[in-house]
Amino acid sequence: MEQLGFDFGVEPRRLMKVSPARLSTFDDCPRRYRLAYVDRPSPQRTGPWAHSTLGAVVHNALRELFDLPAAERTPARAAALVGKHWKDAGFADEEQSARYRREAQEWVEEYVESHDVTGDPRGLERWVSAPVSGSGPDTDSGPASMIVEGRADRIDERDGELVIVDYKTGRREPDEQQARSSQALALYAVAAARTLRTPCRRVELHHVPTGTVAAAEHDEASLRRHLTRAEETARDVQDATDKLTVGGDRDALFPAEPGRRCAWCDFRPSCAVGQEAAPAARSWDLLAPPRRET
């Protein structure tokens, strides 16, 4: 009897799992991607970085703040949560750590004072995942070629649509162009829309030190561009990984891209090319200068 609707002679298409962090790492430096995600056991890394510690503390404090009832989301509570989550990792000494702890507490106090924090987000540090096509964000864009996944800092719902919120604590204020060009935000928007079954086009970068919000509204065309680029990178990753598995040259398949960022790369101790490209940065060198010395 003829079997209808099935072709058992065709191997199912393998869906590539991609995350913004992995794609960005490969685009910046394939060697760093290999060291981070392919090589086992994991190669030696640098120690902690103060700017990363600072960013993680602020993220954790704001996440916990939004877990509280709206009436308890006060500036003072936000500052207290910074103190609760504070760590000294990467700072030059206790004095520097204490100075930046006070700085971060001022940031979140002012952020809570100047932004409406009374609404309950749809997601906090929410994991979103969705099968998508590089041809576009909609379900009719063709068969899925990859699974986009990642963890969004915050997902709001406003006027029946989702908004992706990403906190930033770096030296420079982001602008609209950075929000629009961020592949991470675009992929989160696509995955959140599928995961939570609610439209999502708006993405925002919230620069906590200044309270600046850089926002962009995506449309189908702009999301398609991000998905197409993500699919191209994902195929390059998969191709290099497959060739490595069958004995390909690891350095040729995952070449280093030396530059200034080699100074603070986590895998600098395991990369001779990076060591030659730039002198090692100190673990606190990427901190923004404090707004005022105390």
Q: What is the pLDDT of residues 202-253, one digit of tens each?
A: 999 999 999 999 999 999 999 999 999 999 999 999 999 999 999 999 999 9
User: What is the C-alpha separation between 164 and 218, in angstroms, rounded?
Assistant: 11
Kindly indicate the confidence band of residue 144, based on its pLDDT and cuts at 50, 70 and 90: confident
Q: Are residues 110 and 153 in the same domain?
A: no
- For 161-192, what is each residue's pLDDT tens digit? 999 999 999 999 999 999 999 999 999 999 99
Query: Residue 19 falls within a domain, yes or no?
Result: no
User: Nearest-5° angle of CA 243, CA 245, CA 248?
Assistant: 45
Residues 104 and 56 in one domain: yes
Identify the domain containing residue 61 by its residue range.
Answer: 47-120+256-294
222 and 290 assigned to the same domain:
no
Q: Bridge partners of 136?
A: 133
Residue 288, domain member (yes or no): yes
Rounded CA-CA distance 190/196 in Å is: 10
Q: What is the pLDDT of residue 6?
A: 45
pLDDT of residue 142: 66
Cα gap 268→142, rounded to integer Å: 41
163 in the same domain as 95: no
Mean pLDDT taken over the chain: 93
Question: Is there a domain that residue 180 lies in?
Answer: yes
Q: With bands split at pLDDT 50, 70 and 90, how would you rate the model's confidence at 134?
A: confident
Residue with tokens 């640098």: 46
Q: Output the domain CATH number for residue 200.
A: 3.90.320.10
**CB-based contact 192:200 (threshold 8 Å):** yes
For residue 121, give the H/E element and its range. Answer: none
Beta bridge partners of 123: 155
**Strand blocks (E) in the chain:** 16-18, 123-132, 146-158, 161-168, 200-207, 212-217
Do 146 and 197 share a domain, yes or no? yes
Average pLDDT over residues 25-51: 97
Domain contains 212? yes
Provide the pLDDT confidence category of residue 45 given band limits of 50, 70 and 90. Answer: very high
Instruction: Clarify whether residues 192 and 112 are in a common domain.
Output: no
Residue 128, domain member (yes or no): yes
User: Do residue 61 and residue 80 come from a single domain?
Assistant: yes
Q: What is the pLDDT of residue 35?
A: 97
pLDDT of residue 15: 82
Model confidence band, residue 1 (pLDDT cutoffs 50, 70, 90): very low
Domain C-terminal end among 197, 218, 233: 233
Distance of alpha carbon 97 from alpha carbon 156, whole angstroms: 32
Residues 134 and 228 in one domain: yes
Q: How many CB atoms sit inside 10 A of residue 28's CB?
A: 14
Residue 29 within a domain: no
Residue 12's pLDDT is 52
Identify the band that residue 13 occupies on the pLDDT scale cut at 50, 70 and 90: low
Would you place residue 140 in the very low, low, confident or very high pLDDT band (cuts 50, 70, 90)? low
In this structure, the answer to whether residues 110 and 206 fall within a common structural domain is no
Residue 136 has a pLDDT of: 63
Three-state DSSP class for residue 164: strand
**Count: domains in the chain:** 2
Residues 129 and 225 in one domain: yes
- Omega before 41 cis (within 30°)? yes
Tell whether 137 and 220 lie within a shared domain: yes
Does residue 111 sit in the same domain as residue 137? no
Mean pLDDT along residues 130-143: 73
Q: Is 202 within the bounds of a domain?
A: yes
Q: What pLDDT was estimated at residue 145? A: 87
Residue 27 placed within a domain: no
Rounded Cα distance between 120 and 230, Å, is 31
